């Protein structure tokens, strides 16, 4: 048997889950290195089972590999046990399929999904043998573009440890990568240097090369300017989006891992973007405009995904699946075609509670075991208006009563604490809402039909302001203050009449503050990330590996005052480190939303009226009607468009997936 391994067998047999490092999954792509011109390592900087669950990489993996001249392979963060061995034995990081070192590749693409994986990016570079600082990296031929699909989430990492000699792709990956790869081939044919290549790449729409931009700061530490340092480099980098989702490449040969991964199922992306416009939500802003796939496309894709993978579960994915206009048709098709006859589980994400969703859920899951999830995010009506999660208490209680009548007795509630304008009474309202839901249960379900108590679980996370959202101007709090907020909720829960039916969990406060630093940081925190990494920070998203003290020392050692990034009040005129990215939604719009938030005014969703956010310039999705007429001309006029909007407010979400037991 001929096979090549980057790791000796003894190592594979002694580390946990060796399947992570083999690259031999069904549908993994193998090519002859002699037959391709470009080797591309696509990296998700977290452990295999997390990275393999990411939809975007699977789409790009297949799209790249459709090109006969490209071999795209995968790279994930080695888990801590192997990380240690690789450092001790000086084994370079390798791409899974070929088991060749990352350094042998032409590109290393790293996708950035969340702040807490930044130290893992440094691990990837470090284990690959790529110097963390760009100035030490002149001899290496790899360039490291971010997989840009989600680059725009977090402009701070563009400076993670000052790896500036690289290109970042900002936008949805399906659009301009071909252009970039062709450019690379041409530059190589002409014998051009990496710098020359990057300079040309920077002119490709959506590509950002940090090395060609100069940054200066005011005396108070805020950003003074962020400008191209050379001619031919665009001052603003425009996020790229797919305009026709039916035409965009999708997965036809899904990778089928041997080990159980976090999302062990095939994923059918029904639409991209969200019409709702919750003011804290980054995805809801940067994935605009909302673009849907047709029912026909989805039926075809579902059948291909299931047949080619052999998976026994399919989940529907999008930011707000209830807003997909043809959802009933799609779900009924899946249940009839695959659910009953083929024992395929249909996993539904958050759905608004109505007769349809309760009926569907009772078909696809065991009511007794499953729970319903509502995400009101704010406890009081005023708070929900501030965040533009305009659903009312009435919506929630009615949804809960319907669900209780349908046989459910477990409810999960998600809220955020520490949002702009939040007062103590808003925090208490969280517990009060839970109490009202408990009372609804006892009022709705007669004694003889009850199976014990109802169970209501409140979870709160602490709000982290993100770039490209109306709340990018918001201030944060100290960890101790966050804990006090949680304490207030806890006290109120304890004093509730039905406190025995209500459980309360809250998130880590210190992690929140670190996320806050990384989310709105600038180039200067790069040294801090590096220092934390050098001191041993890795897998910060994993509670057992995360260490606040190490980060505090890193901030001290690199002269970073965290309050400047988290607690400082930003003026409306302030130039933000991410403003050079044109994410579609305009800063003017974000600011007007920020003002409306301060007045607790809601903004109708995109199906109800166009609010002229700026995303219409992409000429696609919900911003246009069938004849291609822009809706922006109708900004401010309340006319339902394209799809009937039965309820112009966001409605309670229920989460049917992964809530069993």
Partner 1 sequence: MRMRIRYSKQGLMKFIGHLDMMRYFQKACRRAGIDVTYTEGMSPHMSMSYAFPLGVGMTSDSEYVDVDINTPMTGEEIVERLNLSVPEGIRFLDACEIGITKADKGMNQVARADYTLRFREGCEWDPDWKSAFYSFLEQDEILVIKKGKKTEKEVNIRPLIYKAEVTAMEDAGDAEGDVIRLGLAAGNENNIRPELVMQAFADAAGRTFTQFMFHINRDEVYADRGSADAHEFVPLIDMCL
Q: At what angle do helices 509-519 and 548-557 cross, to 10 degrees?
A: 40
- Residue choice 5, 367, 552, 575 for contact with partner 1 (CB under 8 A): 5
Stretch 363-392 residues interacting with partner 1 (CB under 8 A): 366
Residue closer to partner 1 (CB basis): 4 or 189: 4
- Residue choice 39, 268, 310, 615 for contact with partner 1 (CB under 8 A): 310
First to last CA, the chain: 44
Q: Considering only 67-75, 303-311, 406-414, 446-454, which stretch makes contact with partner 1 by CB under 8 A?
A: 303-311
For β-strands 653-654 and 351-352, DSSP reports them as antiparallel
Residue closer to partner 1 (CB basis): 52 or 285: 52
DSSP string, 100-133: -BGGGSSEEEEE---GGGHHHHHHHHHHHT--SS
Burial class (CB in 10 A: 0-12, 13-18, 19+), 230: exposed
Q: At what angle do helices 80-89 and 118-128 cross, to 10 degrees?
A: 30
Where does residue 459 fall: left (phi above 0), alpha (psi -120 to 50 degrees), or beta otherwise?
Answer: beta
Buried b (16+ CB within 10 A) or exposed e, 481-490: bbbebbebbb
Mask of contacts with partner 1, 80-119, x by CB under 8 A?
----------------------------------------
Spatial CA neighbour of 133 closest among 160, 97, 105 = 160
Stretch 316-345 residues interacting with partner 1 (CB under 8 A): 342-343
Residue closer to partner 1 (CB basis): 337 or 630: 337
Residue closer to partner 1 (CB basis): 96 or 242: 96
Residue closer to partner 1 (CB basis): 190 or 661: 661
Is the omega angle on the peptide bond into residue 289 within 30 degrees of 0, that is, cis?
Answer: yes
Residue with tokens 């007669």, as numbered in its chain: 446
Residue closer to partner 1 (CB basis): 19 or 547: 19
CB of 309 to partner 1, least distance (A): 7
Query: CB within 8 A of 644, min separation 6: which ones?
Result: none
Residue closer to partner 1 (CB basis): 18 or 129: 18
Residue 573, CB-side half-sphere exposure with 13 Å CA sphere: 1
Spatial CA neighbour of 581 closest among 285, 247, 245 = 285
Stretch 259-298 residues interacting with partner 1 (CB under 8 A): 259-260
CB of 658 to partner 1, least distance (A): 15
- Residue choice 119, 123, 282, 309 for contact with partner 1 (CB under 8 A): 309
Residue closer to partner 1 (CB basis): 140 or 367: 367
C-alpha–C-alpha distance, residues 379 and 545, integer Å: 32
C-alpha–C-alpha distance, residues 434 and 518, integer Å: 33
Q: Per rule CB under 8 A, is residue 354 in the interface with partner 1?
A: no
Residue closer to partner 1 (CB basis): 12 or 608: 12
CB of 477 to partner 1, least distance (A): 45
C-alpha–C-alpha distance, residues 404 and 291, integer Å: 34
Mask of contacts with partner 1, 9-48, x by CB under 8 A?
xx-xxx---xx--x-xxxxx--------------------
- Residue choice 77, 120, 292, 311 for contact with partner 1 (CB under 8 A): 311
Mask of contacts with partner 1, 219-258, x by CB under 8 A?
-------------------------------------x-x
Mask of contacts with partner 1, 159-198, x by CB under 8 A?
----------------------------------------
C-alpha–C-alpha distance, residues 649 and 392, integer Å: 8
- Residue choice 192, 246, 312, 481 for contact with partner 1 (CB under 8 A): 312
C-alpha–C-alpha distance, residues 323 and 242, integer Å: 19
Interior angle at CA 502, CA 498 and CA 504, nearest 5: 140
Query: CB within 8 A of 190, min separation 6: which ones?
Result: none
Residue closer to partner 1 (CB basis): 17 or 299: 17
Binding site for partner 1 (CB under 8 A): 1-3, 5, 9-10, 12-14, 18-19, 22, 24-28, 256, 258-260, 306-312, 342-343, 366
């Amino acid at each position: 048997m001929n096979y090549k391994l980057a790791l000796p067998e003894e190592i594979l047999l002694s580390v946990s889950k060796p399947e992570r490092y083999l690259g031999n999954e069904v549908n993994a792509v193998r090519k002859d290195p002699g037959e391709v011109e470009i080797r591309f390592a696509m990296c998700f900087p977290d452990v295999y089972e997390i990275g393999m669950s990411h939809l975007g990489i699977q789409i790009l993996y297949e799209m790249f590999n459709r090109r006969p001249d490209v071999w795209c392979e995968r790279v994930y963060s080695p888990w801590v046990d192997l990380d240690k061995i690789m450092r001790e034995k000086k084994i370079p990081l390798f791409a899974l399929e070929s088991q060749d070192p990352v350094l042998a590749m032409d590109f290393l693409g790293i996708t950035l999904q969340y702040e807490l994986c930044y130290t893992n990016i440094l691990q990837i570079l470090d284990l690959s043998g790529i110097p963390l600082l760009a100035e030490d990296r002149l001899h290496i031929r790899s360039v490291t573009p971010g997989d840009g699909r989600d680059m725009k989430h977090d402009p701070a990492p563009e400076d993670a440890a000052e790896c500036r000699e690289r290109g970042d792709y900002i936008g949805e990956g399906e659009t301009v990568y071909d252009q970039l790869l062709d450019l690379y081939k041409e530059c190589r044919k002409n014998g051009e240097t990496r710098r020359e290549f990057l300079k040309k790449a920077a002119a490709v729409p959506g590509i950002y090369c940090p090395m060609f931009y100069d940054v200066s700061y005011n005396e108070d530490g805020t950003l003074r300017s962020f400008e191209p340092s050379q001619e031919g480099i665009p001052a603003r980098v425009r996020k790229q989006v797919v305009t026709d989702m039916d035409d965009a490449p999708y997965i036809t040969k899904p990778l089928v891992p041997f080990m159980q991964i976090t999302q062990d199922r095939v994923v059918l992306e029904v639409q991209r973007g969200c019409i709702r416009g919750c003011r804290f939500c980054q995805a809801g802003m940067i994935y605009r405009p909302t673009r849907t796939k047709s029912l026909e496309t989805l039926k075809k894709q579902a059948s291909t995904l299931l047949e080619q993978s052999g998976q026994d579960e399919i989940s529907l994915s999008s930011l707000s699946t209830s807003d997909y206009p043809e959802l009933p048709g799609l779900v009924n098709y899946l249940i009839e075609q695959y659910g009953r006859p083929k024992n395929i589980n249909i996993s539904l994400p958050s759905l608004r509670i109505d007769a349809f969703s309760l009926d569907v859920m009772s078909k696809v899951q065991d009511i007794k075991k499953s729970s319903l999830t509502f995400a009101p995010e704010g406890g009081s009506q005023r708070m929900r208006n501030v965040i533009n999660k305009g659903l009312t208490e009435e919506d929630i209680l009615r949804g809960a009563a319907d669900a209780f009548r349908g046989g459910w007795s477990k409810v999960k509630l998600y809220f955020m604490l520490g949002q702009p304008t939040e007062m103590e009474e808003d925090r208490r309202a969280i517990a009060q809402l839970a109490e009202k839901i408990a009372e609804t249960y006892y009022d709705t379900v007669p004694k003889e039909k009850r199976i014990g108590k109802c169970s209501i679980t409140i979870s709160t996370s602490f709000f982290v302001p993100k770039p490209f959202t109306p709340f990018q101007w918001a201030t944060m709090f100290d960890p101790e203050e966050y804990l006090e907020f949680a304490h207030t909720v806890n006290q109120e829960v304890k004093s509730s009449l039905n406190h025995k039916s209500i459980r309360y969990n809250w998130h880590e406060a210190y992690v929140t503050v670190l996320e806050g630093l990384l989310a709105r940081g600038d180039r200067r925190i790069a040294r801090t990330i590096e220092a934390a990494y050098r001191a041993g920070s890795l897998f910060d998203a994993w509670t057992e590996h995360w260490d606040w003290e190490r980060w505090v020392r890193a901030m001290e050692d690199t002269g970073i005052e965290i309050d400047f990034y988290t607690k400082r009040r930003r003026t409306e005129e302030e130039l933000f480190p991410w403003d050079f990215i044109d994410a579609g939604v305009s800063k003017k719009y974000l600011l007007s939303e920020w003002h409306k938030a301060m007045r607790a005014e809601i903004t109708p969703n995109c199906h109800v009226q166009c609010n002229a956010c700026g995303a219409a310039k992409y000429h696609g999705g919900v911003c246009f009607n069938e004849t291609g007429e822009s809706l922006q001309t109708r900004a401010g006029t309340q006319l339902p468009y394209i799809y009937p909007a039965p309820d112009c407010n966001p409605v309670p979400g229920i989460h049917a997936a992964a809530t069993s037991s």
